[in-house]
Amino acid sequence: MTSSPSPAALSAFLKGIEPRADVLARAQAGPALDSARLLAEVREEFSARAPKLPLAEWPLRYWGLLLARDELARPLRQAPNHPLYRLAHTRRLAVLLRLVVGLEPLGAARVMGLSETAYRALWSDAQDKLEEDGVGPAVLLRWNEAFQAQVRGGGAGLPPEAGAKPAPRRADAAIRMSWRPTRLQTGLGLVALLLLAVWVATFVWPPPFASGAAAPIDGTPAALPPSSEQAPAERDLKSALVVDPDFAVLGASPAAAWREGVGFFSWLLVRDGGALPVTSAAQVLPESANWEALTPPVQEWLAPVEAAWPTLDAETRIELRANAERWQAMTPQERLQMRDAYAEWLQRPALERAALRGRFAAWSALSAEEREALGATASAFALLPAAEQQARRDAFAALDVQEQRDWDLGPRLGSTLPGLRPLLAFVPVAEQSMLVDALQALSDSDRKALASRVAAMGAAQRAALRGRVLAAAPEQRSDLLKQAAESPR
């Protein structure tokens, strides 16, 4: 479903991303970096690869090429005397991806080739070390503003230092841009360790299907034995597949709409005058945290998460149980195909897997009505002549990177979020997430009215509104935003 982008689309993309890349590179590698030469080399390499890539992958691939450069990966020999350079280079990069590029944890994790949990741990550790140098949330905000000014062409150099002694730690999490694991994340961490152990075990004890003895001489696959007769290593590997977060990605159709990108089809639906879907509130059915309530076959396939099961939220338990039931219903041939797809998936480059995970996550976060509307848009798009398809891709690629990310939230929110961006600017990621949740609960007309109201506000008024909304109980936040939209100017 992809074709070569036009030179105009490539030029527009590079024009939008390179100023931010320049600031990031100089902040990561130090002011002495010859960033002009570095960006020219990355531009040449990216321009050669871009025609073969879907437009939705361009930002991820560009940042991947930039961060793979030796100049950014090597520790500095003569680091400036600045708190930023007292961080290890991986932690410095975790901070800069947030402050310079504006990536949220999932996006930054994809760029670095990490899990979101691993990125959050880096970010939290970096903040702890910066706090020891007197760099608290207020200083990080000034750094963010200084970097954004540089991106807009407002000077160069390092952001201002703290100029103060380390601030005492406070228990109120709302004043820090930090993260600590919840019970769910702790449980998922245990799952990750178990999966890692299974993965390592496959090198020590190869499963039967990995050897030539697993199939007859004619090359036809042998039928899978009953689960009770399977060798432990093979059974463990299949269990790892069923509980792997990528199980749903592996089972998705190669022609699924999300592979092109939620942002692209959300934008296309609105651009072509399609009706915005009317969404209903999703209902999460209760799912027992009692492991014994699962059937024995489901317990067998979910064995790696048995210890963490009581700590998982209901939605995760439902998803894992559905994976196990889907696997249980597969024919031996379907299981073999899924197993082979899993082996092929693990061989793909980390950036490619991260890109697909991100697109699928964006798709899964939409309501059922939005997914249906975007699926219809994708089907209509596939019927267009190749030249018209490419023209639409080029137009989307020419949008500002931030606007493209806004459309990833779906057609309803993406159509009004650009006007509400000032309300979300320069706030911690956790607070941004709470505000977006409150905005999603508003009607389309209320969001448009709020965008108009926010445009007329000064910075102090916007900050006061944010403070009131975030201080309120979650169920009251949307009402406060609605009241703000309806208040006279």
More confident residue, 331 or 145: 331
DSSP 8-state symbol, 78? S
Is 172 inside a domain boundary? no
- Which pLDDT value is given to residue 384? 92
CATH number at 146 reads 1.20.140.160
Q: In the predicted model, is pLDDT for residue 204 greater than 80?
A: no
Q: Which two tokens stand for residue 82?
A: 């600045």
Q: Are residues 351 and 213 in the same domain?
A: yes
The CA–CA distances, whole Å, from 103 to 66, 190, 432 equal 15, 27, 12
Is 238 inside a domain boundary? yes
Mutual angle of helices 89-99 and 137-151, in 10-degree steps: 70
- What are residue 240's phi and psi, to 5 degrees? -60, -40
Asked if 191 contacts 309 with a C-beta cutoff of 8 angstroms, the reply is: no
Q: In the predicted model, is pLDDT for residue 305 greater than 90?
A: no
- Which pLDDT value is given to residue 169? 39
Is 432 inside a domain boundary? yes
Q: How far apart are CA 53 and CA 65, in angstroms?
A: 14
> Which of 387, 363, 394 lies closest to 377 in space, CA to CA?
363
* pTM strictly above 0.85: no
Q: Are residues 189 and 153 in the same domain?
A: no
Q: Are residues 139 and 221 in the same domain?
A: no
Q: Are residues 252 and 348 in the same domain?
A: yes
Q: Are residues 72 and 153 in the same domain?
A: yes
Is 89 inside a domain boundary? yes
Is 405 inside a domain boundary? no
472: left (phi over 0), alpha (psi -120 to 50) or beta: beta
| Residue pLDDT, tens place only, 107-120 | 788 778 777 777 88
Q: Are residues 336 and 202 in the same domain?
A: yes
- What are residue 446's phi and psi, to 5 degrees? -65, -40
- The stretch 141-160 carries a mean pLDDT of 77
Q: In the predicted model, is pLDDT for residue 45 greater than 60?
A: yes
| Residue pLDDT, tens place only, 63-120 | 888 888 888 877 666 677 888 888 888 888 888 888 888 887 877 887 787 777 778 8
Of 3-12, 140-149, 226-235, highest mean pLDDT: 140-149
Is 259 inside a domain boundary? yes
Q: How confident is the model at residue 200 (pLDDT cuts 50, 70, 90)?
A: very low
Is 301 inside a domain boundary? yes
Q: Which two tokens stand for residue 410?
A: 């779906």
Q: Are residues 211 and 334 in the same domain?
A: yes
Q: Percentages helix, strand, coil for the chain, rounded to the nearest 5? A: 70, 0, 30
- Which pLDDT value is given to residue 154? 61
> Which of 222, 254, 202 lies closest to 335 in space, CA to CA?
222
Task: Return the percentage of the chain with pLDDT > 70, whole number.
Answer: 75
- Which pLDDT value is given to residue 201? 40
> Which of 147, 101, 146, 98 lies closest to 120 in space, CA to CA?
98
Q: Are residues 22 and 149 in the same domain?
A: yes
- Which pLDDT value is given to residue 56? 73
Q: Are residues 208 and 251 in the same domain?
A: yes
Domain endpoint, select from 359, 394, 424: 359
Domain endpoint, select from 110, 139, 157: 157
The residue segments making up the domain with residue 75 are: 7-157
Q: Are residues 463 and 339 in the same domain?
A: no
Q: In the predicted model, is pLDDT for residue 207 greater than 80?
A: no
- Which pLDDT value is given to residue 231? 42
Q: How confident is the model at residue 361 (pLDDT cuts 50, 70, 90)?
A: confident
Q: Are residues 90 and 215 in the same domain?
A: no
- Which pLDDT value is given to residue 213? 34
- Give the chain's mean pLDDT: 74
Q: In the predicted model, is pLDDT for residue 273 greater than 70?
A: yes
Q: How confident is the model at residue 288 (pLDDT cuts 50, 70, 90)?
A: low
Q: Are residues 13 and 111 in the same domain?
A: yes
Q: How far apart are CA 319 and CA 300, in angstroms?
A: 16
Q: In the predicted model, is pLDDT for residue 385 greater than 90?
A: yes
Is 257 inside a domain boundary? yes
Asked if 332 contacts 225 with a C-beta cutoff of 8 angstroms, the reply is: no
Q: How far apart are CA 85 and CA 76, in angstroms?
A: 8
- The stretch 179-191 carries a mean pLDDT of 46
- The stretch 31-51 carries a mean pLDDT of 87
Number of domains, the chain:
3
Q: In the predicted model, is pLDDT for residue 249 greater than 50?
A: yes
